Amino acid sequence: MILRRPRRCLCLLICVALSAAGLHAQTSTQSPSSSSSSSTKHVKKPAAPTESGIDSGTVANSVYTNKTLALSCKIPPGWVLRTDELNAREEEKEEKKERDAAAQPPSTPASSAGAKVLLAAFSRPPEARAEDVNASIVIAAESAASYPGLKEAAQYFFPLTEVAKAQGFTADEDPYEIVIGTKTLVRGDFRKNVGRRVMRQSTLAMLSHGYAISITIIGGTDDEVEDLVDGLTFSLR
């Protein structure tokens, strides 16, 4: 079954891809410590998804923990968090859509209630330019009800792959299952040529508590991506 993609999912993942596309000549001296966003050395609670049964999670000592998902994710020291900013940006877009819709004849758009970024961590502030890829980890959750007929994580990769291809990424191979701790997820690997560099993206997906969960990791090398994936842990609650 091919699933239709709600526009909200598109906004979340495009935001990730564009923010991580840091392959420009360096024109800014801004460092992670100069960012207005919180560093991973501070405790931070990302905004909770609207009407979600999923714990929003916390970050402490460079580790993101989500009790509902039984997930922990290591964040490299010095990385910056942009969870609140990405969620605020999406909320503004949704409010604008609602205002525009109020001025139009009634319609029945696809439901996207409860779609939120649970974690957005970057190796440097997305606006800071540099020669290398801005590595990132983004964990997002959206209501499975947005996808009628969604029964397993493999189905969720139809819209995820569509979004990646729209951003110029090419799939390395078909999605495959991967076991991390106590959880079996579906993983897809992508790459994109940006100048003389290659941007690598791996997305892992699962279904939990009525939500489709995606973990998107971007890096400049296969080893960098694998190191970040190795920082993911699922345990028994």
- What pLDDT digit, counting tens, does each position of 109-155 carry? 333 445 789 999 999 887 777 778 899 999 999 889 888 899 999 99
The topology (CATH level 3) of 7-105+113-234 is: Protein Transport Mog1p; Chain A (3.40.1000)
Q: Would you list the domain boundaries of the chain?
A: 7-105+113-234
Buried (b) or exposed (e) across 142-152, using 16+ Cβ within 10 A? bbbbbbeebee
Locus of tokens 């560093």: 39
pLDDT over 70 at 9, yes or no: no
pLDDT over 70 at 225, yes or no: yes
Predicted local distance difference test score (pLDDT) of residue 162:
86
Predicted local distance difference test score (pLDDT) of residue 88:
82
What Cα–Cα distance (Å) separates residue 180 from each residue in 29, 32, 79, 111, 149? 38, 30, 23, 31, 26
Kindly report the pTM of this predicted structure. 0.77
Q: What is the mean pLDDT of residues 66-87?
A: 93
With CA atoms as reference, report the closest residue to 71 among 175, 141, 163, 142: 141
With CA atoms as reference, report the closest residue to 229 among 133, 124, 135: 135
**34 phi/psi in degrees, rounded to 5:** -90, -5
